[in-house]
Amino acid sequence: MSGRHDKEKGVNVQVLLRCRPFSDDELRSNAPQVVTCNDYQREVAVSQNIAGKHIDRIFTFDKVFGPSAQQRDLYEQAVVPIVNEVLEGFNCTIFAYGQTGTGKTYTMEGECKRSKSGPNGELPPEAGVIPRAVKQIFDTLESQNAEYSVKVTFLELYNEEITDLLAPEEISRVTLEEKQKKQLPLMEDGKGGVLVRGLEEEIVASASEIFTLLERGSAKRRTAETFLNKQSSRSHSLFSITIHIKEATPEGEELIKCGKLNLVDLAGSENISRSGAREGRAREAGEINKSLLTLGRVINALVEHLGHIPYRDSKLTRLLRDSLGGRTKTCIIATVSPAVHCLEETLSTLDYAHRAKNIRNKPEVNQKMMKSTLIKDLYGEIERLKAEVYAAREKNGVYIPKERYYQEESERKAMADQIEQMGSSDRNPAEG
């Protein structure tokens, strides 16, 4: 009875706080420390002296990771259970939020170029949440001896435009002007969520394949130097891993269990004057702030149980809709700096993250699908793609641009490969 009651009430978004160590520059300048972390009490204290007045503020989170916390500590304590839930058929989202230079990308990706595993499959200590999650997923699937398929997508949201970071090379070689015109549209999926039309889905067979894609996609992300960070991510990125696992019922019916993990690295949340942004960079910061401000308004509306939740006011909040107040299990990792010169943004991040703790989601395990239904759906999708490609080739119908044509062809090929994989497993007599 209590289980059903809990389900109706929902579960709170899990919020973690991570404080980075002092940088070399901060150590050289003897910058005062204004943030102290108590990992055991799960508290973060901010102490400051303003005009002779001493101000103390204390925030409590679900977990706190101080400057000495290692990548592995954060992953094992906070992320391992989330990935296990994805493998059980839930949709889960982890996103990093905080000011530029506080370690969001480091937390999510780590040293990406060094994230490839060593000779015994172990990851380097610097590896972040994404490579560790990938390794956990494949290690678990292989140890279960399950039949599975894993697909990934990687997109960038920059100035309210969505770009596919895994698009084939012939598409990514277009001029900057053409690239700016080439926006992937967001569409309603008919189930209360959204999908990105034409986003490349890569089927992957191993963790190392994902690391290669992650490296390729990360290299295409827009970064720029600001006062706060030499290589600042100027965009939001969303890396998604979808897992289909085959199960058999006692009656011999084959079912497909599906789970999805969304890993989001948000752009820096500082204000324009602090980042040193000028002209085009300032306009860009305005767009970044617009989506983060909308995210803040969505969080407020959810916490205060307002009737209207402004999801549609930015593409970021539309993409994260199911993760905030929906059926997804969500974890926010807020990152801060211990130094006094970041105090204003640190307090803003702590307030923001503390409010988000009160959001309640109602996670639901994804419906298991009969394998025959999934194959039928894939065939239907292939027929639709074929018709679009034929109309484009014969100029019989609505014209589509060349890069869209390439995308449709690659989508069709990926689906054909998936059906071929399923068909070959059915034909394998050793399985029965």
Can you say which residues are annotated as belonging to the binding site for ATP? 98-105
Q: Which residues are annotated as a binding site?
A: 98-105
| Cα 105 to Cα 71: distance, rounded to the nearest angstrom | 12
- Residue 238 has phi, psi (to 5 degrees) of -135, 115
| Cα 234 to Cα 262: distance, rounded to the nearest angstrom | 19
Listed residue (15, 7, 92, 94) closest to 356, CA to CA: 15
Please, which residues have CB within 8 angstroms of residue 45's CB and are 6 or more apart in sequence? 35, 36, 37, 38, 56, 57, 58
Listed residue (178, 181, 175, 185) closest to 155, CA to CA: 185
Please, which residues have CB within 8 angstroms of residue 159's CB and are 6 or more apart in sequence? 283, 284, 287
What is the distance between the terminal CA atoms of the chain, rounded to a whole angstrom? 40
- Residue 198 has phi, psi (to 5 degrees) of 85, 10
| Cα 22 to Cα 33: distance, rounded to the nearest angstrom | 9
Please, which residues have CB within 8 angstroms of residue 336's CB and are 6 or more apart in sequence? 17, 18, 19, 20, 35, 44, 98, 99, 102, 342, 345, 346, 349, 350
CB count in 10 Å sphere of residue 257: 19
Helix (H, G, I), strand (E, B) or coil at 217: helix
- Asked whether the beta carbons of 100 and 337 are under 8 A apart, the reply is no
